[in-house]
Amino acid sequence: MCGICGFVKNEASAPLDGALLKRMNDLIAHRGPDDEGQYMDARAALAMRRLSIIDLSTGHQPISNEDGSVWVTLNGEIYNFLELRPQLEAKGHRFKTKTDTEVIVHLYEEMGDDCVKKLRGMFAFALWDKKKEKLLLARDRIGKKPLIYTEQPDGLAWASELRCLLEYPGVRKEIDPVAVDLYLSLQYIPAPRTIFKGIRKLPPAHILVMEKGRARISRYWNLPLNGQGAAPPPSLEAAKEAIREKLKESVRIRMIADVPLGAFLSGGIDSSVVVALMSEISPLPVKTFSIGFAESEFSELHYARELARRYGCDHREFIVESRMTDVLPKIAWHYSEPYADASALPSYYVAKETRRHVTVALNGDGGDENFAGYLRYMAMNAALAWDKMPLALRKLIMSGASFLPEKNAPVSFAWRLKRFLKSVAFSDYPDRHLRMTGYFSEDDKDIVYSEEMRRRLAQDRGQALAFLSEAYGQCAGEDFINRLLYVDFVTYLPECLMVKMDIASMANSLETRSPLLDHEFVELVYGLPGRWKLRGINQMKWIFKQAFKDYLPKKIYGRGKMGFGIPLSPWFRGELKGYLKEHLFSPEASTRGYFTRPGLERLIDEHERGARDHGYRLWALLMLELWHQVYKIR
Counting Cα atoms < 13 Å in the Cβ hemisphere of 435 gives 22
H or E element in which residue 214 lies: strand 214-219
d(CA 348, CA 328): 10
* 581 Ramachandran zone, left/alpha/beta (phi>0; psi -120 to 50): alpha
C-alpha angle 467-472-476 in degrees, rounded to nearest 5:
155
d(CA 434, CA 466): 10
Q: Which of 172, 538, 540 is nearest to 367 (CA)?
A: 540
Residues 6+ apart with CB under 8 A from 87: none
CB 76 within 8 A of CB 124: yes
DSSP-based helix, strand, coil % in the chain, nearest 5: 50, 15, 35
Catalytic residue (choose from 2, 115, 475, 496):
2
Peptide bond into 62 cis (omega under 30): yes
Given CA atoms 78, 83, 85, 91 in this order, what sign does their dihedral have?
negative
**Residue 2 catalytic?**
yes
Strand ranges in 51-169 using DSSP code E only, listed in sequence order: 63-64, 70-78, 121-129, 134-139, 148-152, 155-159
Question: CA dihedral in degrees (546, 549, 553, 555; nearest 10)?
Answer: 20
Phi, psi dihedrals of residue 517, rounded to the nearest 5°: -110, 15
In sequence order, what DSSP letters do the residues of 354-418 get, joined into one string? HHTT-SEEE--TTHHHHHT-SHHHHHHHHHHHHHHS-HHHHHHHHHHHTTS-B-STTT-HHHHHH
Residues 6+ apart with CB under 8 A from 190: 182, 467, 491, 495
d(CA 174, CA 198): 8
3 state SS of 136: strand
Angle between helices 236-253 and 269-281 (to 10 degrees): 70
Amino acid found at 27: L
d(CA 453, CA 191): 22
d(CA 230, CA 476): 20
* 336 Ramachandran zone, left/alpha/beta (phi>0; psi -120 to 50): left
Give the active site residues: 2
